[in-house]
Amino acid sequence: MMAQMSGLPWLIRCAGAAVALLLVCGLATARFGSALQQPSVTTRDGSLITLHRYLREPVPDIVLVGSSVAWRLKEEYFSLPRFRNLALAGGSPVTVLEILAKQPSLPKIILIETNILSREPDSELIGQFSGRTRAEAPFLRPVRAAVAVHETWNHAPPNAAQARAEQDRLLREPPSMFDNKAYLELALRQMNEGEPTGPVRANVARVSELIDEVQRRGSRAFLIEIPFEAGIEDSRLVTMSKAIVQAAFPDQSPWLPINPPRGELRWADGVHLDERSALIVVRAIESALAERDGARRDK
Amino acid sequence: MPGRVNRGDMTFTSLQFGLFVAIVFGAYYLPPLRRFQVQLLVLASLVFYGSGQPALLPLLLLAVLGTHLCLVLAFDNRAIWMPAGIVFNLALLAFFKYKFLLVDASTAYPIGFAPLDFLLRLPLPIGISFFVFHNISLLVDLTREKRPPPLRDVFLYIIFFPQLVSGPITRAGQFMPQIVPKQLANVDFAEAAKWILTGFFFKLYVANNLNEMTSYMDYPLYETVATQDRWLLVFLYSYQIYADFFGYSAIALGLGLLFGYRLPVNFDLPYISASFSEFWTRWHISLSSWLRTYLYIPLGGNRKGPARTCLNLMIVMTLGGLWHGASLSYALWGMLHGLLLVVERPFLKVLGEAGPVVRVARMGVVFFCVTMLWIFFKLPNFDHALGYLAGMFTPTDNPNPTKLFRNMALLYALPVLIQHLGLGALASGRLRRWEPYLYGALAALAYLEAGPEAAFIYFQF
């Protein structure tokens, strides 16, 4: 009986300390909210932070939904006021479209990236952010919160003028000469593997339904296609996805054609635009939106 | 790659496993079932293994029954049946681990003979490297006894679930005498809790979080990482692999204690080793002891002159490297460790008498070399490993290198540093009364700051 007798108080103190620390972290979250759950080092963390922020703040005018391809188009690159990039790295545009459609208020414009439609919607995220009571992370993560505070303190984002100047500097530079051959080969191999026709068809059908739904509620939805590197454009996944999307949306009206100078674009890892190229694409999206707006006013 | 292994749902860090242990523990000490404790643990171990790889349960049974048969027959003729049992086990290991050196893995019917093709298509059985070594230990150690142990004891020794998947590799001579009726009153819950909580903390807080960062060491991701971060990642991986395997071993030890079995300690602060030979008495101790007992000493050890000793060291370390997998990287990793052991041998005596400054410098050198060699472990594809090494000395021209949060890396690696710097010993010394609170804090931190789930690195072996 000796071991147990001496072990019990030890276990009680140990459990007490654990519970006390959890309580403190729970109360800290209740007090400060999920804003401290940064920085994100996983795609899941990033998705949670993006969605928490969207639901916490006033509804923006324009949102962009999509995968990691659109995720590279950083919000600070856009000069449009009240713009939010809700693209989820490693995710499907359907996930956020579903979440948006379940909110009481919608943005005026929803841009839907159609490059990667082979991934299943994340039902867990949809459930978590669609209900009346949104599931906040229950506990503060002390180490990550401390790092977030340190990062924010030391690397505060530049003001609008500084950011604009930095972007202009980047655009004046020549395109990168980085050799992405190894990535391109790997990406091509992955994009020529498997049989994703089923998920793409299901996603496109659901996107179509959700577009109808949000448009009925007064929002405008546009499909956009972000350019890929030539080799990737010819991959099985991309050609097949394009054919299915084009067949589902043959009319040009839901499309927002963007025409960035392709020769200037670079994909550092074979699939995702580098910083300068993302900036060029953002400018192309902005001018396409302005054109569409102008055409609408002319009518 | 750790993720390649089919782990099923019941890993040590899963809720299912927690429930499983609770149920088995409850039943184990129930008075009516006390007579069947060994059988219960055997059954639980089969359930545990079957939950991950049900298709390979027959193979596990075949390995145990085959070994037991050889063991029984060896009592009549040790000269024939003990080697036969060893060959049987090594053949199993060789077939599953090294088959793709000889046949093309990408073809559906590599041989054209259905039963053999079926076997060739079976995945690598989880823990095969570990249970095969248990079997060999059993054959060598117990055939010297007066009579063979009962089959149920043999089963328990080989498939006891805390050590089945990744060790520690327990010698039969150490484990078998522990198979006696167990009493709940003799369980040291505090000690078991300390091991289990430490293990969970190192796995969830340290290893899983560092894994998120070191995944950038994989090909071709490392191409996006800035040169100085490639160096940082190698050191992070060094901490990660320690935290991962030490964490697993600590959980296994704690679980063993809950059921009344003391498994051997597998790690003893390996990164403060002042020589490579010391490193191997502190890292994966159970494997090193096994290799020393069943390979190095039978080869002649250091009894046959300096040249033969060096050759023996090279053989043992190269085979030790290949034990991890059929790749040139693993072989080279083992060979280079063997070479370091050989090279340091003449200097050990001289350096051993030097002062503390030299000792600290030696620790730095050993840690640096061991860490560099982990690159071959992390990247079993030899070309990728060489590519990574070359990249550490070449400036990258990637315009958007991957951002690593270095401060976070330090915070997640800190427990390994604290443990190795001896600060952990304070908790068992002057700060002993605060010990339960410290372990409580570790448990909470393991939960709060758990990194994304990742398989234990040693599951792949």
pLDDT in tens, B196-252: 999 999 999 999 999 989 988 988 778 778 899 999 999 999 999 999 999 999 999
For residue A42, the chain B residues in CB contact (below 8 A) are 212, 452
B428 touches chain A (CB under 8 A): no
Instruction: Choose between B104 and B123: higher pLDDT.
Output: B123
CA distances from A83 to A34, A41, B248 (A): 21, 23, 47
| Min distance A7 CA to chain B CA atoms (Å) | 5
- What value does the mean pLDDT take over residues B168-186? 92
Look at residues A81, A70, A73 and name the one whose alpha carbon lies nearest to residue A280.
Answer: A73
pLDDT tens for each residue of chain A, 299 residues long: 445 546 889 999 999 999 999 999 988 887 776 665 566 666 666 777 788 888 888 999 999 999 989 988 988 899 887 899 999 888 899 999 999 999 999 999 999 999 999 999 998 889 888 865 555 567 888 888 888 888 778 877 778 788 888 899 989 999 988 888 878 888 888 888 877 889 999 999 999 999 999 999 999 999 999 999 988 999 999 999 999 999 999 998 899 999 899 999 999 888 889 989 999 999 999 999 998 877 666 65
Let me know: does B165 contact B130? Beta carbons within 8 Å.
yes
B188: distance to nearest CA of chain A, Å? 5
The segment with the largest mean pLDDT, out of B7-16, B279-288, B394-403, B426-435, is: B279-288
With b for 16 or more beta-carbon neighbours within 10 A and e for fewer, the B422-445 pattern comes to eeeeebeeeeeeebbbbbbbbbbb
B286 strand-pairing partners: none
Q: Do A14 and B193 touch (CB under 8 A)?
A: yes
* Distance of alpha carbon B244 from alpha carbon A61, whole angstroms: 47
Q: What interface predicted TM-score (ipTM) does this complex get?
A: 0.83
Q: In the predicted model, is pLDDT for residue B5 greater than 50? A: no
The whole-number average pLDDT for the span B439-458 is 87
* Higher pLDDT among residues A216 and B102, named by residue: A216
What size, in residues, is chain A? 299
Q: Which own/partner contact pairs does A105-108 have at CB distance under 8 Å and 24+ positions apart? A: A105/A59, A106/A59, A106/A214, A106/A217, A106/A218, A106/A219, A107/A59, A107/A60, A107/A61, A107/A62, A107/A63, A107/A219, A108/A61, A108/A62, A108/A219, A108/A220
Q: Hey, what are B344's tokens? A: 């340091």
Of A266, A259, A252, A254, nearest in space to A284 by CA: A259
Interface check B218 vs A, CB under 8 A: no
User: Which residues of B are identified as catalytic?
Assistant: 324
* pLDDT reported for residue A42: 62
With an 8 Å Cβ cutoff, are B220 and A186 in contact?
yes
Residue of B396, B400, B411 to mutate when probing chain A, most A C-beta within 10 A: B400
Scored b (16 or more CB within 10 A) or e, A137-167 reads bebbbbbbbebbeeeeeeeeeeeeeeeeeeb
Does any CB of chain B come closer than 8 Å to the CB of residue A4? yes
Please spell the DSSP secondary structure of B176-221, one letter per residue: GGG-S---GGG--HHHHHHHHHHHHIIIIIIIHHHHHHHGGGSTTG
Q: Do B445 and B205 touch, CB atoms closer than 8 A?
A: yes
* Cβ of residue A137 closer than 8 Å to a chain B Cβ: no
Question: For chain B, what is the mean pLDDT?
Answer: 89
Q: Which of B64-73, B334-343, B449-458 has the lowest mean pLDDT?
A: B449-458
Mapped onto helix, strand or coil, the DSSP state of residue B6 is coil
Closest Cα in chain A to B407 = A147
Average pLDDT value for residue range B294-322:
93
pLDDT value, residue A154: 80
Residue burial A199-233, b: 16+ Cβ < 10 Å; e: rest: bbbebbebbeebbebbeeeebbbbbbbbbbbeebe
Per-residue pLDDT at B72: 92
Cβ within 8 Å, pair B443-A18: yes
Looking at per-residue pLDDT, the higher value among B121 and B89 belongs to: B89
State phi, psi for A119 to the nearest 5 degrees: -90, 145
Bridge partners for B282 per DSSP: none
Interface residue of A8, A10, A173 to substitute, partner B, most B CBs within 10 Å: A10
From the CA of B237, how many Å to the nearest CA of chain A?
A: 17
Contact present, B362 and B194 (Cβ < 8 Å)? no
Best residue in B29, B196, B408, B431 for a mutation probing chain A (most A CBs within 10 Å): B408
pLDDT band with cut points at 50, 70 and 90 for residue B341: very high
- B121-130: average pLDDT: 84
pLDDT of residue B111: 66
Comparing alpha-carbon positions, the chain A residue that sits nearest to B224 is A269
Q: Do A22 and B438 touch (CB under 8 A)?
A: no
> Is B280 in contact with B370 (CB distance < 8 Å)?
no
Q: Do B247 and B269 contact (CB within 8 A), yes or no?
A: no
What is the pLDDT averaged over residues B108-134?
Answer: 79
Cα–Cα distance measured from residue B226 to residue B232, given in angstroms and rounded to the nearest whole number:
10
Write down the pLDDT at residue A2: 47
B423 vs A60 pLDDT, higher one: A60
A269/A181 Cα distance (integer angstroms): 9
A1 and B185 in contact by Cβ < 8 A?
A: yes
Pairing assessment for the beta strands A62-65 and A109-113 based on DSSP bridges: parallel
List all residues 6 or more positions away from B302 whose beta carbon is below 8 Å from its beta carbon.
B309, B312
B186–A3 C-beta distance less than 8 A:
yes
Q: CB distance A274–B400 less than 8 Å? A: yes
Of B193, B213, B407, the CB nearest to A147: B407
Rg (CA), chain A: 23
**Exposure of B81 in the CB half-sphere (CA atoms within 13 A):** 18
In angstroms, the Cα distances linking B222 to A42, A266, B60, B74 are: 17, 19, 38, 52
Give CA–CA dist B456/A181, Å, rounded: 32
SS (H, E, C) B101-162: HCCCCCCCCCCCCHHHHHHHHCCCCCCHHHHHHHHHHHHHHHCCCCCCCCHHHHHHHHHCHH
Closest residue in A to B183 (Cα–Cα): A1
With contacts defined as CB-CB under 8 Å, which chain B residues touch A10?
189-190, 193, 435-436
Using CB atoms, which residue from B213, B405, B441 is nearest to A17? B441
**Pairs of CB atoms within 8 A across A/B:** 123
Checking if the pLDDT of B186 tops 80, the result is yes
DSSP letter at A157?
Answer: P
Alpha carbon A242 to its chain centroid, in Å, reads: 21
B410 in contact with chain A, both atoms CB, cutoff 8 A: no
CA closest to B444 among chain A residues = A18
Edge-to-edge order in the sheet of strand A220-224: A83-85, A62-65, A109-113, A220-224
Please report residues of A whose CB lies closer than 8 A to that of B435: 10
Nearest to A13 among B197, B220, B436 (CB): B436
Predicted pLDDT of residue B182: 94
